[in-house]
Amino acid sequence: MPRNKTSLRVIPLGGLGEIGKNMMVLECGDDIVVIDAGLMFPDEDMLGVDLVIPNIAYLREHKAKIRGIVITHGHEDHIGALPYLLRDLPFPVYGTRLTMGLISVKLKEHKLLSQAKLHTIQAGQEFRLGQMRITPYAVNHSIPDAVGLIIRTPIGTVVHTGDFKIDHTPVDGKPFDLHTLARAGAEGVLLLLSDSTSAEVSGYTPSEMTVVETLDRIIREAPGRVIVASFASLIARIQIVLNAAARHGRRVVVVGRSMEDNVRMALDMGYLHDPSNVLMKHSEMRETPPEKTVVMTTGSQGEPTSALVRMAKGDQRLVRIVPGDTVIVSSNPIPGNEVVVGRTIDSLFKLGARVHYSRIEQVHVRGHASQEELKLIMQLTKPRFFVPVHGDYRHLVIHGQLAESLGIPRDRIFVRTDGDILELTADSGKVVGKVEADNVYVDGLRIGDIDSPVLRDREHLANDGIVVTILTLDRNTGRVLGRPDIITRGFMEEEASEELLEQSRKVILHSLDHGLGRPAEPGYIHGRVKESLAEFFYQKTKRRPMILPVAVEI
Amino acid sequence: MPRNKTSLRVIPLGGLGEIGKNMMVLECGDDIVVIDAGLMFPDEDMLGVDLVIPNIAYLREHKAKIRGIVITHGHEDHIGALPYLLRDLPFPVYGTRLTMGLISVKLKEHKLLSQAKLHTIQAGQEFRLGQMRITPYAVNHSIPDAVGLIIRTPIGTVVHTGDFKIDHTPVDGKPFDLHTLARAGAEGVLLLLSDSTSAEVSGYTPSEMTVVETLDRIIREAPGRVIVASFASLIARIQIVLNAAARHGRRVVVVGRSMEDNVRMALDMGYLHDPSNVLMKHSEMRETPPEKTVVMTTGSQGEPTSALVRMAKGDQRLVRIVPGDTVIVSSNPIPGNEVVVGRTIDSLFKLGARVHYSRIEQVHVRGHASQEELKLIMQLTKPRFFVPVHGDYRHLVIHGQLAESLGIPRDRIFVRTDGDILELTADSGKVVGKVEADNVYVDGLRIGDIDSPVLRDREHLANDGIVVTILTLDRNTGRVLGRPDIITRGFMEEEASEELLEQSRKVILHSLDHGLGRPAEPGYIHGRVKESLAEFFYQKTKRRPMILPVAVEI
């Protein structure tokens, strides 16, 4: 890939198909700025995988050029890969105050805090990384202190929206900084990178304030205890609950480690306010009557070990659901979580709770901009080139169509996939190549040792289990000595399989009839056993267990 | 369970938590009538399971009483278990004409058609099963010839809605038979069993006609070929496409075996009409220009082997997606399918197609009644007792709340789970017990040999794979002879695991140090190897592969 020294390169990385969601690389001359370093939770076909992180081969290769990593906000899909990245590449990290607080907690857990170079930035205040001058600007999102970035490079200005919505009546009173964005637009924007998550949704995303009324009514009318489940980092929602509790003479207890940590930090840093002192400790729950109690908790996505899911299963230590309880599931299921969230709600209903959830009531609003907001950003910035980011491919396409409908010519809209290198000059843009961008899996402590063959084996095992056959062979004659042993796991119920396994012993012996009279060749024996057993099992059961022949020669 | 001879028993069975979805048992004196015999597709945690069918232990136990099985409509979740049921319990089956056609195809595949006792019934015409007189009445649903049932018993009248919506402008011109239902209501209804699938949705479900305009516009404006994917049994949708194609001078080819079969049958039986002769054979596609072609196909739920998914992957034999193609995904993703449907749409966009789907356009309407229709049914039937059926538990609860809001007293509303026996007399109702109702899994050819331990093993294997260790032991001394062999599958990449496995050999030998000097006890050796390896792997990797020690004594 020959490269133009007076050009700007833009490379999206990571995000499991959500392009540039976890990481975006901007390269200008000898300077690279990395935006975000997040992780994704695995798709259901990534069996046993805990996390998916961006492939940083390109960063490793060009580490001398990297000036820093700028984080737009403190969600996992934007900060979660930092521990894995900084371990190898200890570059300085830039982020706003709350974002830095969240990053610090994470790095501390991974014992990386002491050596990390952390720089707190502030919305509206420019800082410089190499030849790039960066102005963060305030956006609204489902976590406080989120910013977009205006990045002035020698080639032109790049606007990166981060994750955003435009909320004119935000709960924390801090509106989207339209002015700074408008000024950048007036000066001229070369490239807009804009959040496509909700590009399918027409109209405007409602303000967080619209949830206030619903939560207030439910808490006011609830006959007993109220349990509100939401995201641990959705501080605005927690503020709404604190306010409603204060209005209706209730106290609030926070249950769930991640939310407890976040509440403590948000109070300390001034992002959450408890003027009426409604927050209480776990130990105060006992003496507070149910009709005076609100439990604020995690688990609104049906996460298996979360507090709400434990409550639904009846094994949460502090809160046991009883008839008369009111539960508010204050979120929308993220795609892929619909079934587990549904099951959790079902279980809560079965325990006698009244459950309020987003399918039936306005107990949640989205955190991402809808079509009218996306158009507004395009109008304000008037970019020469447009790259939709953060979204599945279909969201990018639709976001691209929106841009076209606003008059951006189709050949200046780049709907890309991860790893694509987009090279821009002041008046031209093209994709000039691709960097390594395949998913990197984290399973347990180890990174990158799970590949497709391992996942294929896991799927095979998951579908039909495994049959291990143990043969003892005479080293000289290849004759099978004694009776083959057969062990199965995940194949079928033990009792049901007895007769089948007895028959399969005969199949093994029969398949090796021709092997007698000459030394055992392990490859031959494995092949014969595998083939004949696979056929036998498929014919009898239409299943294809993994077959693992073990031959011991003596 | 002592029973009242002059009572009516109602038992929901099957449906994976969707209560009474697949089967409903009505028992009155010495007569049992079974309503529906469907199957469910497994949840994602039922690894390797192909199908889930109702537990028919109760039917087997009381087979002398069973007078027949009445089928409300021809969807898989209402007819799919018939082959498994009739093999054991060859009772007569009752259904409308199209339903019988679909059942016949299914029984033929299973070689059960010749001995089956099939009786075609007709909406509006009463028939008798034992002391129960049954009047099927026409309902609207996403398949033609669907009925609800009015069942007159000595104890009182039961109304079962089947799956339904109320469509005043149905595509096939056959409206919901409100009159028959109203008459039953006027005479007095003891019990209403009503479809809760869409009980969360306020208002009315739109008419199938509302799709006509959208599909017509997309087909009219499409620059090239149009591909419409929907359900194979959604005959009305296929009719809409045939009509639109005729209007815009296009021909229609059907691709996908199940839809081809259904179209042939629906044409033969008069449920589908092609007056302009727009349907063409596969062989005619070549000579038809793209802008004159509509492909009607399956796969709108992202089913892995369906035609649309194959097209999205580029390996469908007849249709290769090219830029200029327009694809309409004419369905909503069923909960649990959101991610795969999204991926399919992404792939189609990547191949250059324009994709229209339900998130962004009105290309689909639901097949189930919303809240206002559910209330209408309650008003027409004025039941003494109410049992919401067909839906997850939360849907039943909400349907029950609707009933309460219409003045049905709470103690006459029974929100139940599968297997519950509800016993009714003319003026009392209570749950008197529970029959065996746990899921029965079909995997390949065999039924019921997959139980929880097998599924737990599959999950264990899926998450971290398996490590098989092979030891050769001296029969007399218990001494390990030679070097342990280790085989792994689904654990980690081969190259990455080499060093770890070398170390684990030492761990095995070390763990058996104390076993030397006395005869090998297989149980002891297994335990030691398992424990020490599990600890070693967890410490090194935080993974817990299944460990299967094999010891051969010589």
Structure tokens belonging to residue A177 = 């900084």
Question: What's the pLDDT tens digit per position in B205-236?
Answer: 999 999 999 999 999 999 999 999 999 999 99
Is the Cβ pair B458, A453 closer than 8 Å? no
Chain B positions in Cβ-Cβ contact with residue A453 (cut-off 8 Å): 493
Is the Cβ pair A449, B552 closer than 8 Å? no
Structure tokens belonging to residue B5 = 């001879």
Q: Are B156 and B192 within 8 A, CB to CB?
A: no
Q: How far apart are CA A353 and CA A324, in angstroms?
A: 6
Q: Are B269 and B293 within 8 A, CB to CB?
A: no
- A463 contacts chain B (CB < 8 A): yes
Q: How far apart are CA B381 and CA B187, in angstroms?
A: 9
Q: How far apart are CA A32 and CA B241, in angstroms?
A: 53
Q: Which of B47, B342, B550 lies at the smallest CB-CB distance from A550?
A: B550
Q: Are A13 and A436 within 8 A, CB to CB?
A: no
Closest Cα in chain B, distance from residue A302 (Å): 14
How many helices and strands, by DSSP H and E, does chain B display? 15, 26
Q: Quickly state the pLDDT bin for B128 (edges 50, 70, 90).
A: very high
Minimum Cα–Cα distance from A347: chain B residue: B393
**ipTM of the complex as predicted:** 0.90
* pLDDT value at residue B419: 94
Question: Residue A52 is which amino acid?
Answer: V
Q: Which long-range contacts (CB under 8 A, 24 or more apart) does B182-186 make?
A: B182/B380, B184/B135, B184/B150, B184/B157, B184/B159, B184/B381, B185/B380, B185/B381, B185/B382
Closest Cα in chain B, distance from residue A355 (Å): 9
Residues 428-447 of B with CB under 8 A from A: 443-446
SS3 call for A344: helix
Q: How far apart are CA A507 and CA A501, in angstroms?
A: 10
Structure tokens belonging to residue A145 = 């202190």
Nearest residue to B148 (alpha-carbon basis) of B163, B133, B130:
B163
Closest Cα in chain A, distance from residue B242 (Å): 28
Q: How far apart are CA B414 and CA B424, in angstroms?
A: 11
Q: Quickly state the pLDDT bin for A378 (edges 50, 70, 90).
A: very high
Q: Residue B97: which residues within 8 A CB-CB, separation 6 or more?
A: B120, B122, B145, B269
The count of other CB atoms within 10 Å of the CB of residue B317 is: 10
User: What's domain A8-203+366-447's superfamily in CATH?
Assistant: Ribonuclease Z/Hydroxyacylglutathione hydrolase-like (3.60.15.10)
* pLDDT value at residue A140: 98
- Mean of pLDDT over chain B: 93
Cβ-Cβ contacts under 8 Å between A and B: the total is 201
Chain B positions in Cβ-Cβ contact with residue A417 (cut-off 8 Å): 350
Q: How far apart are CA B60 and CA B90, in angstroms?
A: 11
Q: How far apart are CA A240 and CA A237, in angstroms?
A: 5
Is the Cβ pair B17, A541 closer than 8 Å? no
Q: Decide which of 3.40.50.150, 3.40.50.10710, 3.40.50.1220, 1.10.565.10 is the CATH code for A209-357.
A: 3.40.50.10710
Bridge partners (DSSP) listed for residue B489: B466
| Residue A210 parent element (H or E) | helix A209-221
* pLDDT value at residue B518: 63
Q: How far apart are CA A180 and CA B416, in angstroms?
A: 58
Question: What's the pLDDT tens digit per position in A54-111?
Answer: 999 999 999 999 999 999 999 999 999 999 999 989 999 999 999 999 999 999 999 9
CA A26 and chain centroid, separation: 22
Fold of B8-203+366-444: Metallo-beta-lactamase; Chain A (3.60.15)
* pLDDT value at residue A518: 63
What's the pTM? Answer: 0.91
| Residue B100 parent element (H or E) | helix B97-109
| Residue B328 parent element (H or E) | strand B326-329
φ/ψ (deg, to 5) at B411: -80, 0
Residue written as token pair 């639109």: B244
What single string gives the DSSP state of each residue in A70-103?
E-S--SHHHHTTHHHHHHH----EEE-HHHHHHH
Q: How far apart are CA B508 and CA B483, in angstroms?
A: 10
What's the rounded mean pLDDT across residues B102-118?
94
Question: How many residues comprise chain B?
Answer: 554
Architecture of domain A452-553: Roll (3.10)
| Residue A301 parent element (H or E) | none
Residues of chain B with CATH 3.10.20.580: 452-553
For residue A478, pLDDT over 80 is answered with: no
What's the rounded mean pLDDT across residues B347-355?
97
What's the rounded mean pLDDT across residues B351-379?
97
Nearest residue to A112 (alpha-carbon basis) of A92, A79, A90, A94:
A90
Question: What's the pLDDT tens digit per position in A484-525?
Answer: 999 999 999 888 888 999 999 999 988 887 555 566 677 788
* pLDDT value at residue A5: 62
Question: How many residues comprise chain A?
Answer: 554
Nearest residue to A236 (alpha-carbon basis) of A328, A301, A166, A142:
A142
Closest Cα in chain A, distance from residue B121 (Å): 36
Q: How far apart are the first and last CA of chain B?
A: 58
Is the Cβ pair B550, A496 closer than 8 Å? no
Helical segments of B270-360, H only: 307-313, 338-350
Q: Quickly state the pLDDT bin for B2 (edges 50, 70, 90).
A: very low
Structure tokens belonging to residue B435 = 């029959």
What's the rounded mean pLDDT across residues A165-189?
96
Residues 481-510 of B with CB under 8 A from A: 485, 487, 489-493, 496-497
